[in-house]
Amino acid sequence: MDLTVILGILGAITTISVGDLMEGGNPVHIVHITSLIIIMPTTLLASMVSTDVEFIKGAFKNVGMIFKKSPINLEERIKEIVDLSVMARRDGLLSYNEPLKSNQ
């Protein structure tokens, strides 16, 4: 599981709890089951109304990706972007029509 997912969830719960405490509430109100039953499905269904079917299917198919490690190698991707920017600066943007020789 990606650390940013855990930090994001914990951060969201913390900020909502602090805001609730500042207003004189109880942080346990976040886990109010009735509110969750009303808000979560309503948000999901309202989003489904305004979205095409293929995107909805894709979203449900890829929801597990949130909790998995990203398959993208960031170091390699950064090197590719730097190579492209150097090539554009040196040879101009039209040089992108030729394949990258350094990556092959």
Burial 11-26 (b: 16+ CB within 10 A, else e): eeeeeebeeeeeeeee
The answer to whether the CB of 2 falls within 8 A of the CB of 70 is yes
Report which of residues 101 and 76 the model is more confident about.
76
The answer to whether the CB of 49 falls within 8 A of the CB of 42 is no
- pLDDT digits over 27-50, tens only? 777 777 887 788 889 988 998 898
The model carries a pTM of 0.39
N- to C-terminal Cα separation, the chain: 32
**Domains of the chain: which residue ranges?**
3-67, 72-104
- Residue (of 100, 104, 78) closest to 87 by Cα position: 100
Q: Does pLDDT of 21 surpass 60?
A: yes
